[in-house]
Structure 1
């Protein structure tokens, strides 16, 4: 379902459960050798998604190892993002000549654990999240959390600096999708902007979201022109 949120040039692969055919490179397997079965399955399946996305770009399979802050280390010339939650794993990739950066997140459409909303939301966001939902099931608190995660996954690989939850002020827009499915767009205003690779301030991101099958997905993509002057 994440493909519906992507611009031209981005490719996606997703799975709604374990991928029994997912295999790990030895250096990947070593990272999860002592973890739980669930963690190994999530790790393997989301990397199987990433390798299918690489193939869709016409690129060979490769290990996907975590770098600083667990940012996936992609092959040269590739940008991307991965996510997993209960019953869902996904990867979105693009060539860096098409997109400068990608940040995706998936969350179960369920209430956040007690106290989490208050720790991530600005006062205006908190009031919005508590005011209801779009339709009978969508959890605004979880949508807000997912969007903030997508912001961080876009920000950190681009700038290499930390960004706190309260450094992004997010506004959502809603529309009714197929079969009444909640979906829409969002804008994240960065409250501590920094110069990007092209020298211009990175002060806002725009993204898209949807809720379907009990899962909330958020996506941010940046056009390649933001880093064109560095090549």
Structure 2
């Protein structure tokens, strides 16, 4: 599914169940040793997906350890993102020379719990959600913001609040966002997909050298885990 949202040059892998061997490196096993079994399974499947995606770039298997705010520690010269939700695990990677950053998110296609939408959105964003579904537009908005955050954090190295990016969802399977604080990204675009009871969103931003000059992008708080 996730491959339909990604441009050439971004490699990916996905699974719909934790049905792969828990082939973790010793360092990864140590990092997850205190986690509950469910978290261990999704962690192992996510790393399996990440290594499969790295192989598609012609790169070897390496440990991918949780770093700052839980963001995966990719090998030098690689950018990437991992996501998981009930019924889905996926990872995307790209060479840093071609892409500045990538971010992906998966969610179950169902409405957000009561009270969550108001906490993660701006009034202008909520005004666009009154349209027939599927998808669950509020959950899709949440997912788009998660993808943006996962793309933002590795280059900004700082938290981006849900209310610091204003997202517009488009019916054609795309979304756009204005980042409302200073940082390395100002305008962000991405793609979304609703299929099989799942929502997927993806952001893939080419490296600055790959932007035409006219479209070149402008160059500790509480936090949620990045992946």
TM-score (norm 2): 0.89
**Contact 1:22-1:45 within 8 A present in 2 as well:** yes
Number of corresponding residues: 211
- In angstroms, what is the RMSD of aligned CA positions? 1.4
1:177-210 per-residue CA deviation (whole Å, 9 max, x = no partner) reads: xxxxxxx10001011132x3xxxxx211000000
Shift of residue 30 of structure 1? 1.5
Q: Aligned in 2, Cα 1:29/1:226: closer, same or farther, shift over 3 Å? A: same
Q: Tell me the residue number matched to 1:35.
A: 35
Which residues of 2 match residues 1-231 of structure 1 at below 5 A? 1-129=1-129, 131-133=130-132, 135=133, 137-175=134-172, 184-194=173-183, 196=184, 202-225=185-208
Provide the rounded CA distance (Å) in 1 between the counterparts of 2:180 and 2:127. Answer: 19
Shift of residue 227 of structure 1? 9.0
Shift of residue 211 of structure 1? 0.5
- Give the SS at the match of 1:19: coil
- Give the SS at the match of 2:182: strand
After alignment, is 150-159 or 42-51 more displaced? Answer: 150-159
User: Which has the larger strand fraction?
Assistant: 1
Shift of residue 226 of structure 1? 5.6
1:156-182 per-residue CA deviation (whole Å, 9 max, x = no partner) reads: 11111211000000011113xxxxxxx
Q: Aligned in 2, Cα 1:227/1:158: closer, same or farther, shift over 3 Å? A: farther
**Contact 1:100-1:227 within 8 A present in 2 as well:** no
- Give the SS at the match of 1:49: helix
**Contact 1:32-1:40 within 8 A present in 2 as well:** yes
Provide the rounded CA distance (Å) in 1 between the counterparts of 2:197 and 2:209. Answer: 34
- Give the SS at the match of 1:73: coil
Provide the rounded CA distance (Å) in 2 between the counterparts of 1:226 and 1:97. Answer: 8
List gaps (5 residues or longer) in structure 1.
176-183, 197-201
Provide the rounded CA distance (Å) in 2 between the counterparts of 1:204 and 1:41. Answer: 36
Provide the rounded CA distance (Å) in 2 between the counterparts of 1:54 and 1:118. Answer: 38
Shift of residue 114 of structure 1? 1.4
* Large movers: runs of 4+ above 6 Å: none
